[in-house]
Amino acid sequence: MEYNAVVVGAGVIGLSTAYHIKRKHPSSRILVVDKFNSAGQGSTAKSMSAFRCLFSSKVNYLLSDSSVDFYTYVQNEIGIDLKLAFVGYLWLLSKSEYEELHPILRGLAVSLKYEELEAEELAQKLHLNICLENDEEAEVLGLNDVYKGVLIPKAGIIDADCVVKFYEEEFLKLGGEIRYGVRVESLIVEPCKPLGLPGEPLFWQKSRISGVKTTAGVIKAKKTILAAGAWIPQLLDAVGIECFIKPKKRQVFAVEAKKPELKKLLYTQGFNSVGCMPFTILPKPRILIRPFPAEGVFWLSYADDFPRAFMLEEDPQPEKGFYEYGIYQVLVKYFPQFRDCRPHTAFAGLYEINTLDGHPVIFEENDLIVVGGASGSGIMKADAIGRIAAALYDGEEYAVLYGGRKFKISDLGIKDRRVEREKLQI
Amino acid sequence: MEYNAVVVGAGVIGLSTAYHIKRKHPSSRILVVDKFNSAGQGSTAKSMSAFRCLFSSKVNYLLSDSSVDFYTYVQNEIGIDLKLAFVGYLWLLSKSEYEELHPILRGLAVSLKYEELEAEELAQKLHLNICLENDEEAEVLGLNDVYKGVLIPKAGIIDADCVVKFYEEEFLKLGGEIRYGVRVESLIVEPCKPLGLPGEPLFWQKSRISGVKTTAGVIKAKKTILAAGAWIPQLLDAVGIECFIKPKKRQVFAVEAKKPELKKLLYTQGFNSVGCMPFTILPKPRILIRPFPAEGVFWLSYADDFPRAFMLEEDPQPEKGFYEYGIYQVLVKYFPQFRDCRPHTAFAGLYEINTLDGHPVIFEENDLIVVGGASGSGIMKADAIGRIAAALYDGEEYAVLYGGRKFKISDLGIKDRRVEREKLQI
């Protein structure tokens, strides 16, 4: 029994892809497999669950903007609560960072609404420490004064689990199949025309990926779709296909807004209709603060680069010292409200970083479709990525994103890739 | 005790780099370490030991052409025998391959001498089977008729071991140090200004590579130079640096020219002054035949792509079936002289493939210099690569290659890389 397609990975990318394929092919047999026991339990569950439409690259903007429009439609028109809230993104910038960002903002191929805020105004509204002069510790930490803020209104928070569940349910409603608790061990390579020779496929034979070997046996499919996030390169290396994706651990620390001054910060008025602080990015090193107003919590994170290893871990763990000697030290300099606050919980996941240019990678080779490399912004781009992968599955040249915008599929491929390096990765 | 530089890897790339640095800094302490017990015992020893100056990219041409000029100078002027012989490269091409190659040859940024040969002439000279029509097996193998040949005179064979020994001796004569039998386990990362905090370096600290941890203890250096070939990505992944290099096994099978018709083939006259057949490349799949006239042997190889794994192996082994069901089947169709011939010996090594564009990668980051990714043409480019790495070590913008040609170092870097994808990889 051969499926039309087997999708490896029931994270947000895999399920969006499966849903968009099934939507166009209701009678095709599409199977999703995942090693976990339910949807979105891998890196999707470890996401900061936030979104922004500000990217320096037009492609990233398109992917995010159209996906956010779709999520808004799902929540407002279909009436499925994704816990999407436009709390905004607030970039706090040192003078040199502002001078870097300003031309990018002005040079955007698309006009994205944003607002510049003066440091003094932010200091007042957020009880933010904007001046670190004469602070020896801040100097050791290499911190700079806040010079300006840039607020992006089309940005905010969402619930990754709700998004995943939405795609899962819609996919199942259409008759899609999912098998949880099934781990893919390898891709199966077979000659297109088997001859029964030892060691097939031999290099002079045309060969293809004919399915996957799993802990529950072999699953054959006309097309195999690899949407396994940080696990993609391991499976691809085994068959010698390059995808330019590498896994890297990312950690999130949750701090409760118990103290009155923290509560006040979390529920800062005047930035959005939600009545909470925006998702906030500190000056370099760019500590991220994600407000969780419904739970009375802040999520704190930092995407460290050198010398953080590219490493695949089955169960990545947050590191206590990363908060205590890392995030906390920087955080309290700008937001003294956090003094003496320790996280009550923390988690870690894996980014699937596209090391070429910070964009997703979507291509087909030998009946294998690879969909990955979302580089930490998978939630906010998942709908567009799924539509593009589904259009590639159909052999189209262009995908139509939500809202009708057309997208050239090969721009995210390997061979004819056409994207500018993203300058606003955080 | 801190070295000025520690070079990881005593293969041809590492020793050329070490030599060119030491030559410019005779009083600096430069140490080369290698896990093997003598020079060039890793992938260098597993090379086909051949060279060509034909590449589609100008950069690859420059690297190879200037290195070959240097080797020629070493052999002819200094009088050190590198067993360099201009036997030429002969590309046997099907019609469609010829139509692909022709515009590349005509479009070369540099004028490389080459000669087009008619199939009939080649058939006569080499007892080559140029017409595979009506041959069912050839059809199953997907083989095409030979339409033309292209002969490159500035190409041939060399002895990798002699080249390595040359660099080793010159380096030692200048006072360079080498420690064999020392395996590098990891790169050492340290904060530039240590504070004694737990978990240093913390992400807000500026940090650098300060040396290597080895089986013989810690070795500290102002600059660490990673020239470990296929082992580079493993060491770099651990500190989160991308180099776009992946290891892939390559196999070489040696067949003795015992039969008169094979002897006749090996010592074919009329192509070069050596009086042997040129290094010959069959039509797709491109089986490679390297003549070894001094030993009365042919070396046969094929650089297989999909689904050959990207995989690091400490001791890669040749696969019997790869010759028997792979190379041999194709080979005898074009050269029936090989009928019933089996290899008397075989070996396998690792290519360090640059998956971006097939060019070397030379860059510096945090006091670490990476020199690798020669993608199977390390021997023929080693001198230029060593000069470029040495110029990077000196903080230059340009390197001067042998013969005086200037080369912009950043063209082979990661950030401002400027190379066209190589179309003539074999």
Whole-number pLDDT of residue B209: 98
> Per-residue pLDDT for B124 more than 90?
yes
Spatial separation of the C-alpha atoms in residues B77 and B85, rounded to whole Å: 15
Categorize the per-residue pLDDT at A1 as very low, low, confident or very high, splitting at 50, 70 and 90.
Answer: confident
Asked whether A372 and A232 are in contact (CB, 8 A), the reply is: yes
Residue A112 pLDDT: 84
Q: What is the mean pLDDT of chain A?
A: 97
CA distance A224 to A232: 12
Size of interface A-B (CB pairs under 8 A): 118
- Residue A423: the pLDDT is 86
Mean pLDDT estimate for chain B: 97
B179-208 mean pLDDT: 97
The whole-number average pLDDT for the span A359-373 is 98
A258, pLDDT greater than 90: yes
Q: Residue window 355-384, chain B: list those with CB within 8 Å of chain A.
A: 355-356, 365-366
- pLDDT (0 to 100) of residue A192: 97
A residues 113-152 closer than 8 Å to B (CB): 140-143
Q: Domain residues of chain A, as ranges?
A: 2-65+161-243+356-412, 89-152+247-354
Under 8 Å between Cβ of B348 and B398: no
Q: How confident is the model at residue B258 (pLDDT cuts 50, 70, 90)?
A: very high
Q: Which helix (H) or strand (E) holds B41?
A: none
- Positive or negative, the CA dihedral A77, A78, A81, A85 is negative
pLDDT band at A76 (very low <50, low <70, confident <90, very high): very high
CATH code of domain A2-65+161-243+356-412: 3.50.50.60
Predicted local distance difference test score (pLDDT) of residue B176: 98
- The mean per-residue pLDDT over the stretch B22-28 comes to 98
Whether chain A has a CB inside 8 Å of the CB on B304: the answer is yes
Contacts of B320 (CB under 8 A, 6+ apart): none
B 196-225 residues with CB < 8 A to A: 197-199, 201-207
Among A94, A137, A202, the residue to mutate for chain B (most B Cβ within 10 A):
A202
Cβ–Cβ gap B325/A202 under 8 Å = yes
* Candidate from A205, A248, A329 with C-beta closest to B240: A248
CA A137 to chain CA centroid, Å, is 33
Q: Answer yes or no: is pLDDT of B112 > 90.
A: no
Whether B329 has its CB under 8 Å from any CB of chain A: the answer is yes
pLDDT digits (tens, 9 = 90+) for A99-146: 999 898 888 867 789 999 999 999 999 999 999 999 999 999 999 999
Among A206, A237, A325, select the one facing B311 at the smallest CB separation.
A237
> What DSSP state is assigned to residue B85?
B
pLDDT of residue A299: 98
Report the alpha-carbon distance of residue B39 to residue B17 in Å, rounded: 14
User: Any idea which of A100-109, A207-216, A394-403 has the lowest mean pLDDT?
Assistant: A100-109
Place of tokens 């010292």: A321
Please give the Cα distance from A402 to A391 (Å, whole number).
13
Interface residue B239 vs chain A (CB under 8 A)? yes
Tens-digit pLDDT profile for residues A12-71: 999 999 999 999 999 999 999 999 999 999 999 999 999 999 898 999 999 999 999 999
CB A40 within 8 A of CB A382: no
pLDDT range class, residue B106, cuts 50, 70, 90: confident
Q: Spell out which residues of chain A touch residue B358, defining contact as CB-CB under 8 Å.
A: none
Q: What is the pTM of this model?
A: 0.97
**How many Cα neighbours within 13 Å face the side chain of A73?**
9
What integer pLDDT is reported at residue B28 of this predicted model?
98
pLDDT at B108: 80
Longest Cα separation, chain B: 77
Query: Confidence class of residue A426 from pLDDT cuts 50, 70 and 90?
Result: confident
Nearest C-alpha of chain A: how many angstroms from B239? Answer: 4
pLDDT one-digit tens code per residue, A271-329: 999 999 999 999 999 999 999 999 999 999 999 999 999 999 999 999 999 999 999 99
Measured CA to CA in angstroms, residue B164 lies from A219, B217, B281, B376 at distances of 49, 26, 26, 16
DSSP per residue over A243-256, as a string? --EEEEEEEEEEEE
Name the pLDDT band for B1 (thresholds 50, 70, 90): confident
Q: Please check whether residue B311 touches A, CB under 8 A.
A: yes
Residue B107 has pLDDT above 90, yes or no: no
Domains B2-65+161-243+356-412 and B89-152+247-354 share a fold: no
| Whether the Cβ atoms of residue A167 and residue A74 lie closer than 8 Å to each other | no
Chain segment B58-77, per-residue pLDDT in tens = 999 999 999 999 999 999 99
User: In this structure, which amino acid lies at residue A383?
Assistant: D
- The β-bridge relationship of strands B89-93 and B30-34 is unpaired
Return the pLDDT at B220. 98
Give the pLDDT score at B158.
98
Residue pointed to by tokens 């190409």? B155
pLDDT at B35 over 90: yes
A285 vs B203, B326, B356: nearest CB: B203
Mutation pick from A325, A416, A423 vs chain B, by most beta carbons of B within 10 Å, is A325
Question: Does the N-terminal peptide bond of residue A318 adopt cis geometry, omega within 30 degrees of 0?
Answer: no
Quick one: pLDDT band at residue B423, thresholds 50, 70, 90?
Answer: confident
Estimate to the nearest angstrom the gap between the alpha carbon of A143 and the chain centroid: 27
Q: Is B189 on the interface with A (CB under 8 A)?
A: yes
**For residue A424, what pLDDT band results from cuts at 50, 70 and 90?**
confident
Pairing of strands A177-180, A30-34: parallel
Å from B340 to nearest chain A CA?
18
**Structure confidence at residue A242 as a pLDDT band (50, 70, 90):** very high
Q: Is B411 on the interface with A (CB under 8 A)?
A: no
Specify the fold of B89-152+247-354.
D-Amino Acid Oxidase; Chain A, domain 2 (3.30.9)
Distance from CA of B210 to the nearest CA of A (A): 13
Average pLDDT (B275-283) is 98
**In the predicted model, is pLDDT for residue B111 greater than 80?**
no
**Residue B425 — pLDDT band, cuts 50, 70, 90?**
confident
Which of A9, A67, A12 has the alpha carbon at shortest distance from A381?
Answer: A67
pLDDT of B358 strictly over 90: yes
